[in-house]
Amino acid sequence: MQYPDRREFRLLLLLLDLCALIAAFQLAIETRLGLNHFYDFQMTRSMIDMRVPPPGLILLLWIPMSAWLELYRPRRAGLIGGAFQVVESVIAVAGLTIIVTFFVRGLGTDFSRSFVLFFTAYSLGTLTASRIVLRAVLGFFRKNEYVQERLAIAGSGEGAKRLVDYLETAQPLGTKLCGVLRTSHGPMGAALGNPVPVLGHIDDIGALINTHRIDRVVALESEVGLIELERLAATCTRMGVALHRLPAHVETSGASIRVHRLGRLNVLEVHGFEFTATQTFAKRVFDLLAGSLLFVVNVPLMAVLACLIKLTSRGPVLYVAPRVGKGGRHFPFYKFRSMVADAETRRDALAHEGKDGHIFKIRNDPRLTPVGRLMRRFSLDELPQLLNVLKGDMSLVGPRPLPACDLEADGMSREHAFWAHERSRIRPGITGLWQIEGRSDLGFEEMIHFDVSYVRTWSLRLDLRILVLTLPAVLRRRGAY
């Protein structure tokens, strides 16, 4: 059973599976209690609670195990593929249950083996049900054109026309065709003969990804040259966009490939090498755990700040603007509004005072409100970015996200290409080396040095060190304006 390779659907399936495991757990307990008269040893509810693994621990360990097994990657399509994925999940459930029970319940003594069998059997049904529910949700989204993956085709000749006709006929679940991209080796789009728009030239793919919110690109072998493909693969990898090629045969340096299903078509997904999956997973788990804790702890403070902003100045409580994230992709960036409502319209008049490379900072900015000045002094205006961390747009630690208007349309920098490429390899952060070393007192060249140094030397130990040093840096208020 195939579902779109989008973070929202993977998270939804994970939540459904966790609910399915809870349901299977309760059903297994009730079944064991209901079959007491078939067993020599009679169990009460309190007794069985002492002989089964803690359900919370199973759910907690399920998340890293499912990530390790890639259970939420749409590697397979169709009924057989979906069934195999469910069986794989059930095997993981059984193994996880036995391991947890063995080590938690006195190294395997006095645990209910029948419970493990019932739990495994029920998991087969409940995990299957969770995927049926997800498929129903996807069907609703497709019918109402919500949350669809946006697909673009690199090519505009006969091959593109055949692929467009196929997609319009097959209508792969959760996929919406945005248009085609012109290439140097193909025609200008006259061969399409249908209303599918030509989005632009493949050389402008970075800007087009942001403009049209493209999630996937399919490159046609007969209409995309090898050099164009390598440039396309580099940009798509940087911006987190899946790249496929037809037919299923590709040789490209510095990239890895895997099979993907688009409807009934087999295509190869091409992506360049990045941080290892273990590194990415470890950093994301750390962000979720620490970010959730920080968000809960700061909710009362954020509520007070929101009331002060609303009561003392005209305008919204939150300032939301597009910033450049991982791969150069734009995302909505949250922070408490610290300036007057018309601050953006007055920016151009002040640009000559605070522009340094891609940094725009003004000491004693006249646009700041009294409450905003206080928040800036202690970096309290940054607290809503914890929502960006939980959403996955940002990390707790990383290079600061720059405003989209200060960089090129593809999120890169023509003047500082190496720096832009390096910082685009990871999610931007709330804090980082630049912040603990002086923030706005440092120049753009120093920011480049710290950004590249962080990316090249990243480790969880470095993230912890930066987080620990952030509080003293905030209290010193150096460079806070």
Q: 238 and 298: one domain? A: no
Domains held by the chain: number: 3
Collect contacts of 142-145 with beta carbons under 8 A, ≥24 apart. 142/171, 142/173, 142/174, 145/176
Distance of CA 172 to the CA centre of its chain: 22
Inform me whether the pLDDT recorded for 272 exceeds 60: no
Q: 33 and 122: one domain? A: yes
Q: 453 and 425: one domain? A: yes
- pLDDT tens-digit series, residues 118-135: 888 888 888 888 888 877
Q: 348 and 458: one domain? A: yes
303 domain residue, yes or no: yes
Last residue of a domain, one of 272, 288, 303: 272
Q: 421 and 323: one domain? A: yes
Q: How confident is the model at residue 152 (pLDDT cuts 50, 70, 90)?
A: very high
Inform me whether the pLDDT recorded for 44 exceeds 80: no
206 in Cβ contact with 328 (< 8 Å): yes
Would you state the pLDDT for residue 280?
A: 84
330 in Cβ contact with 409 (< 8 Å): no
- pLDDT tens-digit series, residues 375-404: 988 889 999 999 999 999 999 999 989 889
Would you state the pLDDT for residue 312?
A: 92
Q: 195 and 317: one domain? A: no
114 domain residue, yes or no: yes
Mean pLDDT within 173-179: 78
In which region does residue 187 sit, left (phi positive, over 0), alpha (psi from -120 to 50) or beta (all else)? Answer: beta
Last residue of a domain, one of 272, 297, 322: 272
Q: Are strands 198-201 and 175-182 parallel, antiparallel or unpaired?
A: parallel
180 in Cβ contact with 192 (< 8 Å): yes
d(CA 68, CA 64): 6
1 domain residue, yes or no: no
- pLDDT tens-digit series, residues 200-233: 999 899 999 999 989 889 888 778 877 788 788 8
Q: Which domain holds residue 343?
A: 277-476
d(CA 10, CA 12): 5
Inform me whether the pLDDT recorded for 6 exceeds 50: yes
Q: Are strands 330-336 and 198-201 parallel, antiparallel or unpaired?
A: unpaired
Last residue of a domain, one of 125, 143, 161: 143
- pLDDT tens-digit series, residues 339-385: 988 777 776 666 555 556 566 666 677 889 999 999 988 889 999 99
d(CA 456, CA 437): 18
- pLDDT tens-digit series, residues 443-467: 777 788 788 888 878 888 889 889 9
Q: How confident is the model at residue 332 (pLDDT cuts 50, 70, 90)?
A: very high
Question: Which CATH number covers residue 245?
Answer: 3.40.50.20
Query: Bridge-partner residues for 330, per DSSP?
Result: 324
Please give the residue that has the higher pLDDT: either 190 or 1: 190
Q: 132 and 158: one domain? A: no
463 domain residue, yes or no: yes
Q: 434 and 286: one domain? A: yes
Collect contacts of 282-289 with beta carbons under 8 A, ≥24 apart. 282/460, 283/395, 283/426, 283/458, 283/460, 283/463, 284/392, 285/64, 286/396, 286/460, 286/463, 287/389, 287/395, 287/396, 288/390
What contacts 26, CB < 8 A, 6 or more positions away?
none
481 domain residue, yes or no: no
Q: 104 and 238: one domain? A: no
Would you state the pLDDT for residue 257?
A: 47
Would you state the pLDDT for residue 251?
A: 41
199 in Cβ contact with 212 (< 8 Å): yes
Inform me whether the pLDDT recorded for 281 exceeds 90: no
User: Which residue matches tokens 């941080």?
Assistant: 275
Mean pLDDT lowest among 269-273, 332-336, 397-401, 475-479: 269-273
Q: 169 and 209: one domain? A: yes
Q: How confident is the model at residue 185 (pLDDT cuts 50, 70, 90)?
A: low
Q: 113 and 218: one domain? A: no
Mean pLDDT within 90-119: 67
Tokens of 285: 């788990």
447 domain residue, yes or no: yes
3-state class (DSSP) for residue 29: helix
Would you state the pLDDT for residue 256?
A: 47
Q: 123 and 191: one domain? A: no
Distance of CA 460 to the CA centre of its chain: 19
441 domain residue, yes or no: yes
Would you state the pLDDT for residue 90?
A: 72
Would you state the pLDDT for residue 353?
A: 58
29 domain residue, yes or no: yes
Would you state the pLDDT for residue 255?
A: 45
Inform me whether the pLDDT recorded for 68 exceeds 80: no
Mean pLDDT within 36-49: 75
Mean pLDDT, rounded, of the chain: 78
